[in-house]
Structure 1
Amino acid sequence: MTIPRDEWLWGWDTTPGIVSVWAEESGQATVWRRPDGGALLTERAKFRPWVLLSSVDDLRAAGVRYQHDDGDANAPGIRVRELAGPGALRVAVSAERWNVLETAICRGASKRLGQRITRVQQLPRHERHVLPPEEQYLVATGRTYFRNLAFAQLQRLQFDLETTGLDPRVHRIFLIAVGTPHGDVELLEARGQDDHAEADLLRRFVTRVQQLDPDVIENHNLHGFDLPFVRQRAKQLRVPLPLGRLHHTALVERAAMRGVSSDRDGADERRVRLIVPGRECIDTLDAVRRYDFAARELPGYGLKAVARHFGLSGPARELIPGDRIHAVYASDPDRVRRYAAADVTEVAGLARILGGAAFALARMAPRRYERLADAGAATGVIDPLLVRAYLRAGHALPAHADGDGTVHSGAALYLFTAGVVQRVVKVDVASLYPSLMRAFRIGPVRDPLQALLFLVDQLVEQRLHAKQRAKEAAAGSDERFTQEAMSAAMKLVVNSAYGYLAAGDGLTRFADVHAANEVTRRGRETLLLMCRALAERGAQLIEADTDGVYFGVPDHWSEHDERAMVDTVAALLPPLVRLEFEGRYAAMLSHEAKNYALLTFDGRLQLKGVAFRSSRAEPYGEAFLRTAIARLLAGDVIGVRAAYLDTLTALHGRAVPTVDVASRVRLRKSPEAYARSRQQRREFAYEALWQSGRQQWAPGDRVRVYRGANGTGRVIDEVEDEARLDHDARDYDVAYYAALLRRTFAARLARAFHAHDFDLLFADAEQLPLFAPALETIRPVATREDDVWQLLEPEPLSTTGQT
């Protein structure tokens, strides 16, 4: 039978409107559907749990009888299907129940390996491939989520907790804000301050979720705080928590890279997230991180900051410091109610703005929607698509395997000019590495079906189609939103194809460092060809990498001149490699590769790279940088000096709030782990916790630490919003932060000036040289990196060995 290759991308079962799937090891699957966005339907189906193995040796060692798999889902006993091709995982084994299958395999493996094996996952990775039950079901049936369903047709609920503190072992929930699928906000409040009142609040919350029956539950940091907190409080108060659609099934743990510790004390380093069977739990923090990984434009990842960035909140938005919410509730409950209502309203808006990509991916990849929302695009999206494609084609899969020691050559990145350049253009090499893979048919050697290249081809075409349909749709319409989300999802996966190919240490089953190095070789070749052509036509090259090229243009050029030159250069590139005019800017500060600032023609400042935007950086320094860079790029050198002196004055007068000199740190060690390593190396953040009287924390917690006036570390508990603490002592070390301002933040402007001019601009007012030149004479500079520019020169012809 010939299998249509489109099924590799979309699956083959066209059942519409699936909004959630829950499968169990018993071979029972429950599927919830909302065809055309209407009433919810519940279906139950049988499936055969399955696993891929390298051989049937363990079944034979166990003395288990098995038969050929003829595709009958109701067939009894253990069934085996031999797969074609050279792959190592060449046997698909299934049974009516998972425990029957696992027991047989583990019994044989124990005999073969001479040790007790109780889980299939304990077998060497190159001998097996195991999926969670829901993915077994989706791969086997060819089903996917959300066919013929728009994002707006999902029933989405948001909830946010207000608690007396951050530790669910000792603190309580006193208010729960609920955003309903109809767009309303409901506030559930505890009717007292004891166990009975909180237990009653939890029961009312569970009842309301069941009544509203959402397909999706959303919040910001849902998996890091709200769900774990609710579960812990319900456990301590002995309140059942049937938040899902299967009332007999409690919340379920799953392993996750970004989750909470499986035990609150942090002794177990395993990270988990909680599943609500029958509903998809979406954490908008995942969407924010994924968005900013590409855009690099968000001011932070907290809800309030992101909501302001996207225009979801206004100046009247209620702000309360996190550790003051309960106290404010006691004296002004309406203020806290407004605060909580705004939280769920903003989460609903944020999920709609950023959630479309995961929604679109769920239409393709055989995974639950919530897993695609937090998965990496390579192992989380591409790998499931390839596994399904190979099994659908009846071909054996390659196993994960270590490389042969060949070093990956890495991506191309060139910094041609550092400093300040006026009138700058950016051109984008659209998906350079995937385009080169397509143009020169470069794929992994262990992919005989060329499935990866096929998926890349299809995804690029789907993206172009979606972009065109988005342009044709009305602004603000569901169709525009759907197509833009599809385009974003396709771009995300396409751009990860090269990373999937280049992954080392056996991280992906089709990794091929030799193929990846050929892609990067052609990438460097293409980038240098393009840069050479731009320079020959009058461009002042600044920076070039796989994301595109920045270059300066002559003052007298018009936008038409810029676009005409780009079109000319684009015609010189290999087929399928597209050069697009992406933007033009009034000025650019190039600090180092991938770290720069841009000033738009309408006066907006864009900062890129960790040198200018870092979650660990002290806010007072970043605020100085934004002001100073904006003035620098506008040609106001005196204004740069003024920004520096103003910041020093604010520090010395203690006008800078303490939170603005604190560095945001994520804790990676438990208290016990740090105590064990403390004698070898003392770390400022943990010492600050101890010196501030904090003895308990969990890995993954975030705190802000600062240096006190006596040099010791101090802690400000993480406050997501930017409200200021009423009792701010401002007891920080002024001299330290004044020195840090010059040493760390002002230093990022050093490439913009000659050394003596930089020293003058950032000298203390009392330490200026007696005969210092006037500040008005200082001009920003740009410096060519000559060793990089030499790469553009034609290589000399060698006469060695020629006749």
Structure 2
Amino acid sequence: MEDEWLWGWDPTPGIVSVWAEPDGRAFVWRRVPKTGELLREDVRFRPWLLLASLEDLAHLGPRLRPESDGPARYRVTWQELEGPGALRYLVRGDDGRALTSAVLEGASRRLGQPVSHLKELGANTVLALPPEEQYLTMSGRTYFRDLAFDALRRMQFDLETTGLDPAHHRVFLVALRGPDGATETLEAQGDDDSAEADLLYHLAERVRAWDPDVIENHNLHGFDLPFLARRARHLGVSLALGRAGAPGLRHRPSARGAALGRPVPGAPPDAMRRARYTVPGREFIDTLDAVLRHDFSTRDLPGHGLKAVAKHLGLAGPEREHIPGARVYDVFRTDPARVRRYARDDVTEAGGLARLLGGAAFALARMAPRRYERLADAGPATGVLDPLLVRAYLREGAALPAHQEGDGTPHSGAALHLFATGVARRIVKADVASLYPSLMRQYRIGPKRDRLGVLLALVDRLVDQRLAAKGRARAAAPGSQERFTNEALSAAMKIVVNSAYGYLGAVGLTRFSDVHAANEVTRQGREVLGLLCRELARRGVTLLEADTDGVYFAVPEDWREADERRVVSEVAALLPPRVQLEFDGRYAAMLSHEPKNYALQPYDGPLVLRGVAFRSSRAEPFGEAFLRRALRCLLAEDIPGVREVYVATVMALRRRELPTPEVCAHVRLTKTGAQYLALRPRRRELPYEAMLASGRKEWPLGEQVRVYRAVGGRAGLLPIPEADDPGTARPLSREEDPRDYDVEYYVRLLRETFAARLVRALTPEDFRTVFDDPGQPSLFAPSLEDAKPILTVLTEPAAALEGA
């Protein structure tokens, strides 16, 4: 039973895409695992809704019948589910639109006013899923059963455009990478609309000829598909990219995606609907989603753009072509071969990135009753756990509870202790593997309203099967398909398991949330963390930071790695049986700045930065570059070196040697022009002043801009980063770069913001000396030759953990 809850129950292998229509038609594409042959099944299903009451269908009279009477044409059937849940009536019809219309008509009569959408009735009254999810939930089918990731036919495409605005710019080249890994480019044979239209027709022809199951690219939903859709609409081109149905791209709701220009019901007037594009028979996968998910857990990426990530992960070759985004079209007109190489490198890296980081979403699609492309950008709680729980309850014929807002009890939150700040040496990280899910299992803590115990059963199953998958991965040959598959399974299971505690605490957002259960898990976690820290301290280590992910501590100078591992093993043996403490790494030095904000210097390898104090998408690049150089010196106990880095950065600013993009902040606009103008008399903000100064009074919510403070207090604006590399500063030529930034403002910013991240590592006197203005040197500045970093113990473990 638990395996059915987790994996579904229909054994159909090789499903690569599902498309369903509201009228009860479903199209299922399957790839035969052994031969690779593609099959299509056209099946019928009965669209359904979950209702709290049959009152809004009473007007149907004899057309409303119990499910036990059997389905009949033009009839709506109902089944009362068991148990105390609020959503207890499963109603089915021949056509989903007709079923929805019947409910809306009844609701309008009951309320005495027009009701035009099921959402107006509220989540406690009705549950309506997209047609594909209705079909998958009731059939017990899932994607990719018995199919390896490499058995998918995958292609990548990337647009090269004359600019970033599809209203005024056009596509001049498309790079393609086929399922066999070969790359090519398609190019517009001219500068007019007909040439671009021909290019888009050829792109659609290539998609049909290669017939991929999956189409991938980096920032696919943020740029390529919206740009392509807009240009196709302008040119009158029907984009036949799907495997069935009318040509053209369809919309699906999404938190991130293209703004549709229509308001969101119940949201502020300026909030626009957002959507992603989709087509029948193929899945659109944006590797930016995988990058964001990866960086959320590892926090080790230098940025989220394709080129930065590909280089960091070793996917970029030594001959990789680089062209500043603003100059691609200009370069193409003089050196088209160079742009072709550049574009082919893009799709090659996108394909490599999709395989390297996409395994978790692929594995999630084997579990949850959702389209693969939706799971690739879904959050693990509402996007994965909720569909699994709904499917399990309906499989058992059990009523579902309504969302509850809670009784006002606050969620107590996770435990976090900062024991010391400054620089410590000989660091050990002891990792607590999935602490909160382990405590849920250990003490059988689950949501009170989950009367079937599905959430705990899923966590139990996932933890056990994850360990088995990790074992199979370790036993498989490096680089083999078996290792890749099992590593992907392990990663997917970890995502879901670690979201279980957050699911409990998300009051009002998740169907089975239970703040009291979440707080009990938190209480048990504090006790375990307290025991762990006290026992480590008793063994002579210096605690630095502890939270639910693990503990950082410094060990005595004469300890060796064997001593470090022994202490972790001793303490691990004292913890509850299902709580696993593991030796997770050792480092030469650490700067502890604030809770969850620190820098680590491995014994061998690059600097590791954690937390927004050291890594932020909004931070000016010159400041982060200064921090990296200064931290390397600091953690090597080279205080004069920190001074040299600071002086060099100040002088580079004052000589205007730094390009303007290095001092720009990357900002997402959260106010419309009208909203800002209304607030402007009371408070002026640099990003919006920059927009106004550039002549713009309106802009879409969420637009990203690069802004800086120019001389005279003016607000400066630079072009946004290239479309496929959000968050990365675009290089400008010396002629394009105004370099009119306010030098002294950025010198102050360097000292008061970036250098301030090192204040806890130095004595006040040394800090003043290191960051003294090089333009006004003191005649009596103390020597830094004997200066050393400091470590300040904030509180003893016994005091910090009292009552934990």
TM-score category of the 2 structures, normalised to the smaller one = over 0.9
Residue type of the alignment partner of 1:465: A
Residue type of the alignment partner of 1:124: G
Cα displacement (A) at 1:793: 5.5
Maintained 8 Å contact 2:271/2:701: no
Cα displacement (A) at 1:68: 2.2
Do residues 527 (structure 1) and 529 (structure 2) align? yes
Q: Distance in 1 between matches of 2:803 and 2:182?
A: 66
Cα displacement (A) at 1:522: 0.6
Counterpart for residue 801 of structure 1: none
Provide, for residues 594-636 of structure 1, a one-character-per-residue CA deviation record: whole Å limited to 9, x for no partner: 0000000014210000000000001111011001101111111
Do residues 420 (structure 1) and 429 (structure 2) align? no
Structure 1 stretches of 5 or more lacking a match?
A: 796-803
Counterpart for residue 266 of structure 2: none
Counterpart for residue 545 of structure 2: 543
Counterpart for residue 623 of structure 1: 625
Q: Distance in 1 between matches of 2:489 and 2:220?
A: 25
Q: Distance in 1 between matches of 2:313 and 2:80?
A: 52
Do residues 356 (structure 1) and 359 (structure 2) align? yes
Counterpart for residue 792 of structure 2: 783
Structure 2 stretches of 5 or more lacking a match?
A: 264-268
Counterpart for residue 300 of structure 2: 297
Maintained 8 Å contact 1:665/1:703: yes
Do residues 270 (structure 1) and 273 (structure 2) align? yes
Matches within 5 A, 1:552-701: 552-695=554-697, 697-701=699-703
Maintained 8 Å contact 1:415/1:788: no
Matches within 5 A, 1:305-344: 305-344=308-347
Residue type of the alignment partner of 1:113: L
Q: Distance in 1 between matches of 2:284 and 2:70?
A: 34
Q: Distance in 2 between matches of 1:85 and 1:128?
A: 17
SS at match of 1:725: coil
Candidates 733, 736, 756, aligned match of 1:747: 756
Which stretch of structure 1 is more off in the superposition, 767-776 or 757-766?
A: 767-776
Counterpart for residue 508 of structure 1: 510
Counterpart for residue 6 of structure 2: 9
Matches within 5 A, 1:204-223: 204-223=202-221
Residue type of the alignment partner of 2:747: A
Maintained 8 Å contact 1:46/1:73: no
Counterpart for residue 284 of structure 1: 287
Q: Distance in 2 between matches of 1:72 and 1:251?
A: 38
SS at match of 1:596: strand
Do residues 459 (structure 1) and 462 (structure 2) align? yes
Maintained 8 Å contact 1:264/1:698: no
Which stretch of structure 1 is more off in the superposition, 750-759 or 493-502?
A: 750-759
Q: Distance in 2 between matches of 1:473 and 1:794?
A: 46
Maintained 8 Å contact 2:238/2:247: no
Counterpart for residue 501 of structure 2: 498
Q: Distance in 1 between matches of 2:461 and 2:30?
A: 27
Provide, for residues 146-189 of structure 1, a one-character-per-residue CA deviation record: whole Å limited to 9, x for no partner: 00001111111111111111111111110011111110111010
Maintained 8 Å contact 1:321/1:722: no
Matches within 5 A, 1:467-486: 467-486=470-489
Matches within 5 A, 1:146-157: 146-157=144-155
Residue type of the alignment partner of 1:26: D
CA 1:247 to 1:80, structure 2 compared with 1: closer, same or farther past 3 Å? closer
Residue type of the alignment partner of 1:545: D
Q: Distance in 1 between matches of 2:463 and 2:61?
A: 49
Candidates 6, 18, 35, aligned match of 1:21: 18
Counterpart for residue 168 of structure 2: 170
Cα displacement (A) at 1:64: 5.4
Do residues 724 (structure 1) and 731 (structure 2) align? yes
Counterpart for residue 145 of structure 1: 143
Provide, for residues 197-246 of structure 1, a one-character-per-residue CA deviation record: whole Å limited to 9, x for no partner: 11111111111111111100111111111111111111111111111111
Residue type of the alignment partner of 1:457: D
Maintained 8 Å contact 1:48/1:73: no
Candidates 440, 445, 448, aligned match of 1:445: 448
Counterpart for residue 124 of structure 1: 122
SS at match of 1:246: coil
Cα displacement (A) at 1:677: 3.9
Which stretch of structure 1 is more off in the superposition, 58-67 or 524-533?
A: 58-67
How many residues are treated as equivalent by the alignment? Answer: 791
CA 1:603 to 1:5, structure 2 compared with 1: closer, same or farther past 3 Å? closer
Maintained 8 Å contact 1:429/1:548: yes
Q: Distance in 1 between matches of 2:215 and 2:328?
A: 24
Counterpart for residue 800 of structure 1: none
CA 1:424 to 1:75, structure 2 compared with 1: closer, same or farther past 3 Å? farther
CA 1:789 to 1:697, structure 2 compared with 1: closer, same or farther past 3 Å? farther
Do residues 378 (structure 1) and 384 (structure 2) align? no
Maintained 8 Å contact 2:432/2:549: yes
Question: How many percent of aligned residue pairs carry the same amino acid?
Answer: 60
Counterpart for residue 196 of structure 1: 194
SS at match of 1:241: coil
Q: Distance in 2 between matches of 1:304 and 1:508?
A: 37
SS at match of 1:776: coil
Cα displacement (A) at 1:61: 4.3
Candidates 230, 245, 249, aligned match of 1:251: 249
CA 1:146 to 1:578, structure 2 compared with 1: closer, same or farther past 3 Å? same
Q: Distance in 2 between matches of 1:733 and 1:83?
A: 68
Maintained 8 Å contact 2:58/2:64: no
Q: Distance in 1 between matches of 2:116 and 2:59?
A: 15
Q: Distance in 1 between matches of 2:370 and 2:518?
A: 27
Maintained 8 Å contact 1:61/1:111: no
Candidates 324, 346, 350, aligned match of 1:347: 350
Q: Distance in 1 between matches of 2:402 and 2:580?
A: 35
Residue type of the alignment partner of 2:92: S
SS at match of 1:262: strand
Which stretch of structure 1 is more off in the superposition, 714-723 or 556-565?
A: 714-723
Q: Distance in 2 between matches of 1:316 and 1:710?
A: 43
Maintained 8 Å contact 2:421/2:761: yes
Maintained 8 Å contact 1:59/1:108: yes
SS at match of 1:586: strand
Residue type of the alignment partner of 1:572: L
Q: Distance in 2 between matches of 1:550 and 1:173?
A: 51
Cα displacement (A) at 1:118: 2.8
SS at match of 2:115: coil
Q: Distance in 2 between matches of 1:152 and 1:182?
A: 11
Cα displacement (A) at 1:766: 4.3
SS at match of 1:187: strand
Maintained 8 Å contact 1:414/1:788: no
CA 1:111 to 1:723, structure 2 compared with 1: closer, same or farther past 3 Å? closer
Residue type of the alignment partner of 1:414: H
Q: Distance in 2 between matches of 1:746 and 1:20?
A: 52
TM-score w.r.t. length of structure 1: 0.96
CA 1:788 to 1:747, structure 2 compared with 1: closer, same or farther past 3 Å? farther
Q: Distance in 2 between matches of 1:573 and 1:340?
A: 54
Which stretch of structure 1 is more off in the superposition, 270-279 or 678-687?
A: 678-687
SS at match of 2:713: coil
Cα displacement (A) at 1:694: 4.1
Which stretch of structure 1 is more off in the superposition, 644-653 or 102-111?
A: 102-111
Do residues 707 (structure 1) and 709 (structure 2) align? yes
Maintained 8 Å contact 2:360/2:491: yes
Maintained 8 Å contact 1:62/1:105: no
Which stretch of structure 1 is more off in the superposition, 721-730 or 204-213?
A: 721-730
Q: Distance in 2 between matches of 1:577 and 1:57?
A: 49
CA 1:609 to 1:268, structure 2 compared with 1: closer, same or farther past 3 Å? closer
SS at match of 1:143: coil
Provide, for residues 430-451 of structure 1, a one-character-per-residue CA deviation record: whole Å limited to 9, x for no partner: 0000000000000000010010
Cα displacement (A) at 1:754: 1.3
Q: Distance in 1 between matches of 2:62 and 2:108?
A: 14
